[in-house]
Amino acid sequence: MVLVDAERAAAANEALLQTFTQLLAALIGERLTQRLLESATATTDTAPGQQKNAQEQK
């Protein structure tokens, strides 16, 4: 595998994420895409519904 400088890799990563987000929004809608991506990128401490689930388990 060829090594790529960090700047170029970051630009490619940003372009890929933007394209993925646009395609997903076209398929399932912007609102659901936003919710899905927020939940996917949230840390375990701030994941939506985690507090609710923790309280239900008590």
4-58 pLDDT, tens digit per residue, is 899 999 999 999 999 999 999 999 999 999 999 999 988 766 545 555 555 455 4
Question: Residues 6 or more apart from 25 whose CB is under 8 A from it?
Answer: 33
Domain total for the chain?
1
The answer to whether position 19 is within a domain reads yes
The answer to whether position 47 is within a domain reads no
The answer to whether position 58 is within a domain reads no
User: For residue 24, what are its two tokens?
Assistant: 């997903």
The answer to whether position 52 is within a domain reads no
Domain that holds residue 27: 7-40
Question: Residues 6 or more apart from 48 whose CB is under 8 A from it?
Answer: 35, 38, 39, 42
The answer to whether position 45 is within a domain reads no
**Helices (H), strands (E): how many in the chain?**
3, 0
pTM: 0.62
